[in-house]
Chains A and B, each alone.
Chain A
Amino acid sequence: MNSPYFYIVSAYLTVFVVLFWQWLLPWRRWQQYIKHKIKT
Chain B
Amino acid sequence: MWLASLLSPKKFFYVSEALFPWVSLIFLMSLTYGLIDGLFFVPADYLQGEGFRIIYVHAPCAFLSLGIYAIMSFAAFLHLVFRIKIASIILRQSASLGATFTFLALITGSLWGKPMWGTWWIWDARITSELILLFIYLGIILLQRSLIKNNHAHASMIAVLTLVGMVDLPIIHYSVSWWNTLHQGPTLKIFAPSLIHHRMLMPLIAMIVAFMAFYVLVLFLKLRYEFIVKMNHDWQEIR
Contact = CB atoms under 8 A, between A and B. Distances in A.
B58 A4 contact: no
Interface residues of A, number: 20
B224 A12 contact: no
Interface residues of B, number: 31
B31 to A, nearest CB: 10
Contacts of A23: 214, 217-218, 221
B114 interface: yes
Question: Among the interface residues A7, A29, A30, which one has the most CB atoms of the partner chain B within 10 A?
Answer: A7
A18 B218 CA distance: 13
A37 B115 CA distance: 52
Contact of A26 (B114, B218, B236): B218
Interface in A1-40: 4-5, 7-8, 10-12, 14-15, 18-19, 22-23, 26-27, 29-30, 33-34, 37
B164 interface: no
Given A22-B100, A23-B218, A11 B225 contact: no
27 contacts: A4-B49, A7-B54, A7-B115, A8-B39, A8-B50, A8-B53, A10-B111, A11-B54, A11-B57, A11-B108, A11-B111, A12-B57, A14-B107, A14-B111, A15-B57, A15-B61, A18-B100, A18-B103, A22-B100, A22-B218, A23-B214, A23-B217, A23-B218, A26-B218, A33-B229, A33-B235, A37-B235
Interface of A: 4-5, 7-8, 10-12, 14-15, 18-19, 22-23, 26-27, 29-30, 33-34, 37
